[in-house]
Chain A
Amino acid sequence: MEAFGLLLHGFAVLLTWKTLLLMMVGLVLGIFVGVLPGLGGPNGVAILLPLTFTMDPTSAIVMLSCIYWGALFGGAITSILFNIPGEAWSVATTFDGYPMAQQGRAAEALTAAFTSSFIGSLVAVLLITFLAPMISSFALKFGPPEFFAVYLLTFCSFVGLGREARHKTVISMSLGLLLAGVGMDTVSGQLRMTFGSADLLRGINFLVAVIGLFGISEILLTMEERLALRGHAAGISLRVVRSVWKDLPKYWVTLLRSSFIGCWLGITPGGAIAASFMGYNLAKRFAKDPESFGKGRIEGVFAPETAAHASGTSALLPMLALGIPGSGTAAILLGGLMVWGLNPGPLLFVEHKDFVWGLIASMYLGNVVGLVLVLTTVPIFASILRVPFAAVAPMIVVSCAIGAYAIQNAMFDIWLMLGFGVVGYVFKKISIPLAPFTLALVLGSRAEDAFRLSMIGSGGDLKVFWSNGLVGTITTLAIVLLFWPVIDRAVGGIVRRVRPAA
């Protein structure tokens, strides 16, 4: 087992006091961010990214990914105790988690949530450990046409499989790709879309946009709502943990099913939100007494949490192996890689073994440490909600500004961040999805380079995207996915006509 040996090496990289300390700091910050209203995984990672600029890449990614794990754990706390889903993917957790808290079983629900998050992540990390090296070594054979086809597949699957109106996904994506092209053209050195502005010469930085879109706009959105809350504070005793864990084997089918759903949806850009709902609904459908769901059933906490975390974790698989993020947060981590001077893609596994295996090892360790941490510190974090939002909001604004400025030391970026904050606020309210924008902005220049290199190689012949079996299959699949809703309807129509009775 080559992967196993490399993983052990990863643990060796990780087990220094400094890294472990950073891990704890990351987890605490992450839980903090997850508990705070209006902040979640992507925002937290984006805002705290500048802290890592002066670190070496391994420490930086360990800390950032721990912020991410922490935020995932933190989201469950508010869903169960206050019926406030910190994240869209925690919505399904509130269905049974909050009733449990109302019945005085908050500790049990929290233990169930944390444990199942841990199990979901663990399954996904196991998948990453063994699958990612294989995929990346396969992808080493890719040339520019193959890469462009894979990028195309990612973009098309967003349009075809997304739940938002298709034209809104297309708007969000093409806008992201366009803004990625602003500034100096990397191939010819010519300036594009700068309109004579010296500030636009640097281009529109991905992280600045993300901080505005997710940080500033989220504060504006949060302020719109009633911020009053009422809930339970609960400490978790060892006795509760033991009793929940003792019952765990009874739910192995639910856990396994949800892990599988999560991993699958995490790798394809369906995301954690879909995964958590699907995990919940399937658990309900296969249950002997579906009507007891929603009234405080522990399985109703296990199912969505496992799926959400499996999906959130496995979204990192395509990022590591191919350089294509499977979620918004993964896209931000990818942006981080570039800031630290690493080139995402399959070569990462060859050129930066320490980094990759350090990261994978940190996923194991981060989840174990995170589990212990949340189980012991829930009361402290729940009381964070007592801090008035009027004190938290300006601090978040300041952190956002620090983050935006630190990336390129440019005052212009602070203004850009504010602009993106307004754009994000408006887009979210008229349901233009932000994830395709983020993805397009981070992949834009690489997708364009891949396209141009393949075109130069083939002398401008588009047939290069069908020049061999591999690239042809990916390109065709991309086009099928793009028109999936149309195809789905057409096939459905034919089936109905053939079998009118059915």
Chain B
Amino acid sequence: MSNTDHEIVVDDPTAPDDSSPALASKLAVDIVVSLLLLALAITLGWDNWRTGASWDATGPQPGYFPFYLSIILGAASLYGLGAAFASRREAAETFVTRAQLRRVMAVFVPTFLFCLATQYLGLYVASFLLIAGFMRVIGRIAFWKSLLTAFVFTAAMFVTFDIAFDVIMPKGPLEAVFGR
């Protein structure tokens, strides 16, 4: 109907392979999560009990409300454990395949390193490194394009937050050199 129609095609050469072997079933993850939540419920419940979870002259003590919530959380996780064991369906479902995990790690590890770098180098330097590095290494985008994009984005963030809106971000040695 309209003559302006043209196709947009984007390829994804590193897409995870569909036949990649499963690393974990949903059942296994469900059980681990339920156990972790149960442990959390017990820890928090104990802490609230210590704070005081009963009534005194002024009404409920500070630990009262969260204490009973921990019990609800614990009970729901226990039920979840039981339900997970009872369900056969979940055992067959894949939580993550090897190829998928590789891709997820390709984002998670750089994000983790970025957080670490933010702590020591400041946010702006870290974000420049993250964007340039990620585009170059993971995205296999040309070196100059990666550097330029990273620089423009980081500079734009600096101008927006530090100069225009006065929102202060963590800073490191580089900013100190320029006296900001």
Residues of A within 8 A of B (CB): 50-51, 53-54, 81-82, 104-108, 165, 167-168, 170-171, 174-175, 177-178, 181, 185, 187-188, 190-193, 195, 216, 219-220, 223-237, 240, 379, 382-383, 385-386, 388-391, 393-395, 397-398, 401-402, 405-406, 409, 411, 414-415, 418, 421-422, 425-427, 429-430, 432, 448, 451-452, 455-456, 460
Chain B positions 46 through 65: 1 when the CB is less than 8 Å from some CB of chain A, otherwise 0: 01100100010011111111
Residue of B nearest to A415 (CB): B115
Q: A226's contact among B9, B16, B138, by CB below 8 Å, is which? A: B16
- Known A-B contacts A171-B73, A223-B103; A195 and B47 likewise in contact (beta carbons under 8 Å): yes
Whether the Cβ atoms of B80 and A233 lie closer than 8 Å is no
Report how far A178 CA is from B43 CA in the complex, Å: 12
For the complex, would chain B's binding face be called helix, strand, loop or mixed by DSSP majority?
helix
Residue of chain B at shortest CB distance from A220: B104
Binary per-residue interface labels of chain B (120-164) against chain A in the complex, 1 for a CB within 8 Å, 0 otherwise: 000100010011001100111100000001000110010011000
Docked pose: A386 CA to B8 CA in angstroms: 7
13 additional A-B residue pairs with CB within 8 Å, beyond A167-B80, A167-B83, A389-B139: A174-B70, A174-B73, A175-B73, A216-B111, A223-B104, A232-B8, A379-B4, A383-B8, A386-B10, A390-B140, A421-B111, A427-B33, A448-B65
Say which residue of A170, A394, A451 sits within 8 Å of B130 (CB atoms).
A394
Is B168 a contact partner of A429 (Cβ separation < 8 A)? no
Residues of B within 8 A of A235 (CB): 2, 4
A402-B157, A411-B119 given as contacts; is B72 within 8 A of A170 (CB)?
yes
Decide: B26 and A390 in contact? CB cutoff 8 A. no
Q: Which of A171, A385, A421 sits near B80, CB closer than 8 Å?
A: A171
23 residue pairs bridging A and B, Cβ less than 8 Å apart: A104-B1, A106-B5, A171-B37, A174-B70, A174-B76, A185-B62, A188-B62, A192-B47, A192-B63, A193-B48, A224-B16, A224-B96, A229-B9, A230-B10, A234-B2, A235-B2, A382-B8, A385-B8, A393-B107, A393-B134, A406-B161, A429-B95, A430-B33
Q: Could you count the A-B residue pairs with CB atoms below 8 Å apart for me: how many are there?
A: 230
Residue of A with least CB distance to B149: A391
